[in-house]
A = this chain, B = another copy of it.
């Protein structure tokens, strides 16, 4: 029984063949050392560029760190990864809880790796700070994909603000791309502003639905339907197939009410089953068609440039506010000014001017 088990391992030693002791102990020591000491930025870059998952994971941890001392190294690793990044297809996947995002990603991811693709699965979920990982946290729902050596799954960075989580995810995309992952799936929950953030960092945005959930109005209202390049109705299996077909007609009608997209792409509605795998291949075909189109009309590169600028400007806006509101002289004056504004003793604009004058003169 014990022998049997050993034989199953890829690291087993064939009976009668002596292991090359020096080499293997050397290798073990190197691995142990690498794990123990903090690798330099250059070592991490070298590791990432050769597809080393340990180096990738460590670099992501660095990017996610809130320790200011890690910032410089993280910046250097990103800088070194950039020339080799930017070559993947980035796909955003959203849907309210219950549509089966995890099982869809499991089925879709396995399909992609079966085509020889390397797939990274990331998540943007600012609520994970509180709920300790509401999405992607439960890797058991992606049992097959977790074991797949061509897949890399990383739960959402935690952070107090969506901006912080989004920044970390976006830098993680760069690291994954440099590490050779050619498809990046970014999952987000169908609540709050996180869809808009994910939409601003992907090439293709996929909205996952189930038939008869009755949340169409929510999707329209919050602009998510408008962002979607494809609406995929999941769980189209068994008794659900008819309902899913009906939902497809309805979503098609709703999508046609929106103006044409700048990409030149007409959003499609499809059905699939993560259980039977029916329609999963067609989803990838759709995305491939999209990518071919936007490469041919140059929209792909144009959009990525726009997204880069968007994130630069967003970061500047956020930092300017953080700097202003954390200055001691602002903090000192803020509460009394707020009270005066609330009590109509000073106009909001005059109050803003008082705080700004105080801030700039420091």
Most B CB atoms within 10 A — which of A170, A311, A315?
Answer: A315
Known: A78-B347, A341-B309. A319 touches B352 (CB 8 A): yes
Known: A220-B220, A323-B360, A356-B316. A78 touches B350 (CB 8 A): yes
Asked if A82 is at the interface of the complex by the 8 Å CB criterion, the answer is: yes
- Whether the pair B312, A352 counts as a contact (CB closer than 8 A) is yes
For residue A148, which residues in chain B have a CB less than 8 angstroms away from its CB?
A: none
Determine the interface band of chain A, counting residues with CB < 8 A from chain B.
Answer: 35 or more
Known: A324-B320, A345-B82, A356-B319. A312 touches B351 (CB 8 A): yes
For residue A360, which residues in chain B have a CB less than 8 angstroms away from its CB?
A: 323
For residue A313, which residues in chain B have a CB less than 8 angstroms away from its CB?
A: 352
Asked if A355 is at the interface of the complex by the 8 Å CB criterion, the answer is: yes
- Whether the pair B315, A352 counts as a contact (CB closer than 8 A) is yes
- Whether the pair A75, B350 counts as a contact (CB closer than 8 A) is yes
Closest chain B residue to A350 by CB distance?
Answer: B75
- Whether the pair B347, A82 counts as a contact (CB closer than 8 A) is yes
For residue A115, which residues in chain B have a CB less than 8 angstroms away from its CB?
A: none
- Whether the pair A350, B217 counts as a contact (CB closer than 8 A) is no
Asked if A121 is at the interface of the complex by the 8 Å CB criterion, the answer is: no
Asked if A46 is at the interface of the complex by the 8 Å CB criterion, the answer is: no
Asked if A344 is at the interface of the complex by the 8 Å CB criterion, the answer is: yes
Closest chain B residue to A223 by CB distance?
Answer: B221
Closest CB in chain B relative to A259 CB, distance in Å: 10
Could you mark each residue 291-330 of chain A with 1 if its beta carbon is under 8 Å from any beta carbon of chain B, else 0?
0000000000000010011111101110111011000000
Asked if A174 is at the interface of the complex by the 8 Å CB criterion, the answer is: yes
For residue A356, which residues in chain B have a CB less than 8 angstroms away from its CB?
A: 316, 319-320, 323
Distance between Cα atoms of A274 and B261 in the complex (Å): 39
- Whether the pair A355, B316 counts as a contact (CB closer than 8 A) is yes
Distance between Cα atoms of A93 and B305 in the complex (Å): 39
- Whether the pair B341, A308 counts as a contact (CB closer than 8 A) is yes
Asked if A57 is at the interface of the complex by the 8 Å CB criterion, the answer is: no
Interface residues of A in 142-158 (CB under 8 A from B): none
Partner of A312, one of B217, B223, B316, B338: B338
Interface of A toward B, CB cutoff 8 Å: 75, 78-79, 82-83, 85-86, 167, 170-171, 174, 217, 220-221, 223, 226, 257, 305, 308-313, 315-317, 319-321, 323-324, 337-338, 341-342, 344-353, 355-356, 360
Sample (21) of A-B pairs whose CB atoms are under 8 Å apart: A75-B347, A75-B350, A78-B347, A78-B349, A82-B344, A170-B347, A170-B349, A220-B220, A221-B221, A221-B223, A308-B342, A309-B338, A309-B342, A312-B337, A312-B348, A316-B352, A316-B356, A317-B317, A320-B320, A320-B324, A323-B356
Sample of 6 further A-B pairs with CB below 8 A, known A315-B352, A320-B321? A82-B347, A217-B220, A309-B341, A309-B348, A311-B348, A312-B351
By Cβ-Cβ distance, the 9 closest A-B pairs, closest first, are A315-B352, A311-B348, A312-B348, A305-B342, A320-B320, A308-B341, A316-B352, A312-B351, A312-B352
